Amino acid sequence: MAVATAGWRLSEEQEAFRRLTRQLAETHIAPRAREYDRTGEFPWDVVQLFREQGLFSLCVPEEYGGAGTDLLTLAVVIEELARVDATASLILAVQELGSLPIILGGDEAQKRRWLPSLATGERLAAFALTEPEAGSDAAAIRTRATRRGDRWVLEGTKRFITHGSIADVVVVFATVDPALGHRGIGAFVVEKGTPGFSVSRVEEKMGLHASPTAELVFDGCEVPLDHRLGGEGEGFKIAMMTLDRSRPAVAAQALGIAQGALDYAVGYLKERRQFGKALAEFQGLQFMVADMATQVEASRQLLYYACRLIHEHGYGRLPAEVNRYAAMAKLFCSDVAMRVTTDAVQLLGGYGYVKEHPVERMMRDAKITQIYEGTNQIQRLVIARSLLG
């Protein structure tokens, strides 16, 4: 009988992307990560590197200048980037997040207008849903969109918007009437420099220091009518469909962080000697890394399977049981990343706690993967809903 391998091995192309990304990450990003984590300056050189290597094209369909690769390829690339630095991987993940509403909700003209420059990385995208008073409860957003003649006028504040201060294209979710709940929400593309759109502050965070997280203010910000994606009241659906598909990117980031911390800790255990032998020879530590490696591999297999399932459904609406897999992958990978990075710090002892070694940064960065793009509590809601009906 033939060997059952269909759909399992990474394709040649996916393996090639993994090799390329690992080489880029180790050569160009790893040596920079500590420095920009310290200064908090956004690494434009990394953006330039991604542009030159065409990595932004992984986020966009082929018809609009994208690479025409699948979701698993993007996940593998994000994983490899996050293995050395989560901030660098987030540059790509946010480009996907900001592009998805246009891919999923835009008409042909809108796609042709915005996607090609996002595919080259010439322009950066952002996704603006969260507000000071509406986080997990996204349907409660208060930013208003009012039709005035041939314009939409936006009024309100968005918070915790990754790349909000540097993005050229921001997809903003706003309601025509809060009383309508999620049915009143629309999705609007706001370009950088539009009058009435400003950045009111950039957050100081525990991790992801070089990734700007901004508060955006819309004060009489006018955009043309054709900047609305989808029909009347379809914005919430677009937002949810986007998040359903972007979860694997966060899971991939978490997986990469965990793998990076594990690899670093293993290298350290082989070098460091105490009590006359390498730390690697102590069984108590061997068992810790065995558990870490096992959890990381389980994360990887769950994520890759979720990516394949989602990919089979194209850009259409995902059935609940497929969404469940995306949510399970995000939940599981991020929880594992937190545990594994915490253990990696432990394995390095005092050295784990100082910035000379990257594991403390990985531990700080891992934490956000349990929170953003749907807290893990929200992931559990998604999973439970599909189990319990």
The contact set with another protein (CB under 8 A) reads 1, 3-9, 266, 269-270, 278, 280-283, 285-287, 289-291, 293-295, 297-299, 301-302, 304-305, 308-309, 312, 319, 321-322, 324-325, 327-328, 331-332, 377, 379-385, 387-388
Count of C-beta atoms within a 10 Å radius of residue 18 = 16
Nearer to another protein, 119 or 285 (CB): 285
- Tell me how far apart the alpha carbons of residues 30 and 35 are, in angstroms, rounded to a whole number: 10
Three-state helix/strand/coil letters over 88-141 = HHHHHHHHHHHHHHHHHHCCHHHHHHHHHHHHHCCCCEEEECCECCECCCHHHC
* Cα 162–Cα 344–Cα 252 angle in degrees, nearest 5: 40
SS3 call for 228: strand
**Nearest CB to another protein, comparing residues 213 and 299:** 299
223: three-class secondary structure by DSSP: strand
State the angle between helix axes of 71-84 and 12-24 in degrees (0 to 180), rounded to the nearest 10: 20
Shorter beta-carbon distance to another protein: residue 185 or 328: 328
Name which of 120 and 376 has its Cβ closer to another protein.
376
Measured CA to CA, the distance from residue 79 to residue 22 in angstroms comes to 9
Taking the complex as a whole, how short is the minimal distance between the CB of residue 353 and another protein, in angstroms? 23
Two structure tokens written together for 78: 């994000």
List, in sequence order, every residue forming a beta bridge with 189; answer none if it has no partner: 171
User: Which amino acid is it at 292?
Assistant: M
DSSP letter string, 294-306: HHHHHHHHHHHHH
Q: With respect to another protein, which residue has the nearer C-beta, 217 or 292? A: 292
Q: How far is the CB of 379 from another protein (least distance, A)?
A: 7
Please indicate whether residue 373 is annotated as part of the active site.
Answer: yes
What count of Cα atoms within 13 Å lies in the side-chain half-sphere of residue 243?
Answer: 20
Q: Which residues are within 8 A (CB) of 380 and not within 5 positions of it... i.e. 6 or more apart?
A: 327, 331
By DSSP bridging, strand 169-175 and strand 185-191 are antiparallel
Q: What angle do CA 359, 30, 280 make, to 5 degrees?
A: 45
Nearer to another protein, 198 or 375 (CB): 375
Residue type, 321: E
For another protein, which is the closer residue by CB, 220 or 267? Answer: 267
Among the options 131, 222, 234, 373, which is catalytic? Answer: 373
Q: Residues 272, 278: contact at Cβ < 8 Å?
A: yes
Beta carbons within 8 Å of 335's beta carbon, 6+ residues apart? 370, 376
> Rounded to the nearest whole angstrom, what is the least distance from the CB of residue 259 to another protein in the complex?
13
β-sheet bridge partners, residue 187: 173, 229
Shorter beta-carbon distance to another protein: residue 175 or 370: 370
Contact 129, 85 (CB under 8 A): no
- Catalytic residues, by residue number, are 373
